[in-house]
Structure 1
């Protein structure tokens, strides 16, 4: 146990590439660093470093000792992270990424409650529909809507998601409500229209399954905009349920063919994803738990 400090300083010398750089990193004098390394060499009974005025290299013993010191420091950091995860209150900044409309309609309204519960935590929310790299973009937690998640990520399910057909009362009064999926072909319909979100829809009701192809004069790549269009009475909109929830609750929109469910690609689940690790930061764990309970 008496060698722990010397081992940490020796590892810093190797990682920094020299005594002076290690001293600057540690905030001590170069001579102090040299004394600690010398004591470690004396205790181990062998040279760890070959030093010249211009270079520094490890001896065979030094390579083995440095590997052991690196493992020791890694373990120490894990213990520190464990303590921070379980014994402290959540604190610090959480950087969160979410799809635009889900962030606007579902996530953002729930964040004030979380901030009120955890006054020492700040949230930096970025809304973006592209799939971001958590490590590269410095994101602690991302919300993903998908049937399958990318490998290499840990995830907690938040809630199920389904696409729904909605229309304004004025549209239904003028054009009538379709009674079957086949009748949708005679209506004005608006959907996302990009990537896999095309005009060929597969719907299921119990044991029944039908397919219908929609010829639409207007597609919009944003579900909030489709909801806004539908509220004007311009079309029947196909949107995620969270996008239409407020308008349905207020009566501005009404469900269409509510007993039918859409298949691929108009289906998925919503997950909170994060970089896997042995010890998840307490602030991130707290936000995930809060969102799961609020779902």
Structure 2
């Protein structure tokens, strides 16, 4: 296909991506300020040019085909490349401006990043910051995310990695609970205690412990499960039992004596521990707004990281 035909395809590829993102021709047309029938005709031309079906149209919804999924991914990459072309004009001396979209686990976002928001926005008044509380896998390009924070022993391959510290899991309980029920000295004793866990899966009440090559897997139980770290910590502080947390979650409560550590000499295996990994897509031309955010977080992270 010659260059002129490729260039002519670009607007239709962009329209295809918007239709998929919005979920319907009507919503996409509203966003673009055109009629649904005009978009439908553009998509039909694109399908004819590519000799493949991109969307299955039903009376209720649009369903993307297998070929459409592959082309959609390419459209996302094309958009990202276009953004980089635009950002190429951003030079070192320009005032950082524009939007920065950041995704991070809920507790980390609330406890560690939230206190940085106001000072950062005050220092950089031309930057718009969008924060998304997200646990689990994230596709930066297709979801329009600039930077992702992960607490993990296995950072995502293919993304640039900046390590900001370490985080480990810690077990704790309130002084009143320990005074009433006693302090366990071995993981196996947890079966005799009330424990607070996430309740997200059928296995997250199963806790793994390691020390000097010795391993123990314990199935705990309790009357309270919640997949929100701060609510779970509140339950522990109120004496409902023993809980596991990333250490930054309980740092303040430990310092103020509201909770006490339990089984400190054992390593707890699980999610949300390892590197505090700041990751972003590889780019030759990092816009100033991303650079200053990354530098700002790296500079201010030390006081939130438990060593």
The TM-score bracket by the shorter chain reads 0.5 to 0.7
Question: Residue 215 of structure 1 is aligned with which of 217, 220, 237?
Answer: 220
Change (3 A) 1:272 1:78: closer
| C-alpha distance in 2 between matches for 1:167 and 1:120 | 44
2:197 pairs with 1:187: no
Q: Tell whether 2:19 aligns with 1:15.
A: no
Instruction: Give matches, 1:200-279, under 5 Å.
Output: 200-205=206-211, 207-217=212-222, 218-265=224-271, 267-279=273-285
1:81 & 1:126 partners in 2: Cα distance? Answer: 23
In 1, distance between residues paired with 2:164 and 2:266? Answer: 23
Q: 1:177 matched to which residue of 2? A: 183
Deviations 1:160-198 (A, max 9, x none): 111111111111111111122232222111122445963
User: What are the ranges of 5 or more consecutive residues in structure 2 without an aligned counterpart?
Assistant: 10-82, 302-307
Aligned residues: 227
Asked if 1:156 corresponds to 2:162, the answer is yes
**Whose radius of gyration is greater, 1 or 2?**
1
TM-score by length of 1: 0.67
CA-based RMSD:
2.9
Give CA deviations for 1:56-90 in whole Å, capped at 9, x if unaligned.
xxxxxxxxxxxxxxxxxxxxx97874552423232
- 1:195 and 1:155, CA in 2 relative to 1: closer, same or farther beyond 3 A? farther
User: Any residues of structure 2 matched to 1:38-49 within 5 Å, and which?
Assistant: none
Whole-Å Cα distance in 1 between the matches of residues 283 and 277 of structure 2?
17
Check conservation: 2:207, 2:220, Cα contact below 8 A: no
Q: Secondary structure of the residue that 2:282 maps to in structure 1? A: coil
Classify 1:173/1:286 alpha carbon distance in 2 versus 1 (closer, same or farther; 3 Å): same
Query: Where does residue 99 of structure 2 map in the other structure?
Result: 93
The whole-number CA distance in structure 2 between the counterparts of 1:198 and 1:167 is: 18
- Runs of at least 5 residues in structure 1 that lack an aligned partner in the other structure: 1-10, 18-76
Aligned-partner Cα distance in 1 for 2:285–2:203: 38
Look up the match of 1:105.
111
Residue range with higher mean Cα deviation, 220-229 or 103-112: 220-229
> Partners in 1 of 2:132 and 2:159 — Cα distance?
19
**Aligned mates of 2:88, 2:271 — CA distance in 1:** 41
Alpha-carbon distance in structure 1 between the residues aligned to 2:179 and 2:192? 15
